[in-house]
Amino acid sequence: MTTTRPEVRGFPGAVLVVRFLTELALLAGLAVAGARLGGSVFLDILAAVLWPALAGAIWWLVIAPKAKRRSPEPTRFFLEAGLFAVAALGLIASGLLVAGIVLGVAGIAVAVAVRIWAKDG
C-alpha cells in the first residue's frame, strides 16, 4: 500500500520550490568553498566532493520531509540554519564574500519561511 502526500499549491508550494533551490545552492556553495580551500589539487577535489556529500547526508538523515529519523523542531531548523551558516562561512573564507552573505541570508530566510507558510515541509 502506498501513501501519497497531499499536493502543496499556491504560496506554500512556491516556498517549497524556493527551498529546493536554496538546497541546491547550499550544495553548490559547499562544493565551491571546498574546491577553493583544499590547498592542493587533490584536496580541492576531495573537499569539493565530500563537503556537499556530508551536508546531503545530514539533510537526508534528519532534515528531509521523508527522513526516517527526522529531527523535531526546533532542532531541525537549527541544523538547517547551521548548514547554511557553514556554507556561507566557507564561501567567505574562500574569498567570495558577497556569495557567502547571499547564500547564508537566503538559506536561513527560506528556512524560516518554510516554518511559517509551508508547515512540515
Taking phi first (over 0 means left), then psi (-120 to 50 degrees means alpha), and beta for anything else, what does residue 110 get?
Answer: alpha
Residue type, 54: L
- Rounded Cα gap, residues 96 and 29, in angstroms: 10
* Cell numbers standing for residue 21: 533551490
Average pLDDT of every residue of the chain: 93
> Given 3-state DSSP classes, what are the helix, strand and coil percentages for the chain, each rounded to the nearest 5?
75, 0, 25
pTM greater than 0.85 (yes/no)? yes
Is the pLDDT at 2 greater than 70, yes or no?
Answer: no
What's residue 24's pLDDT? 98
What dihedral angle (degrees, nearest 10) is formed by the CA atoms of 82, 73, 16, 69?
A: 90
What's residue 4's pLDDT? 57
What's residue 38's pLDDT? 82
Q: Is 103 in contact with 33 (CB distance < 8 Å)?
A: no
Mean pLDDT throughout 86-100?
98
Is the pLDDT at 3 greater than 60, yes or no?
Answer: no
| Cell 569539493 -> residue | 48
Q: Is 68 in contact with 51 (CB distance < 8 Å)?
A: no
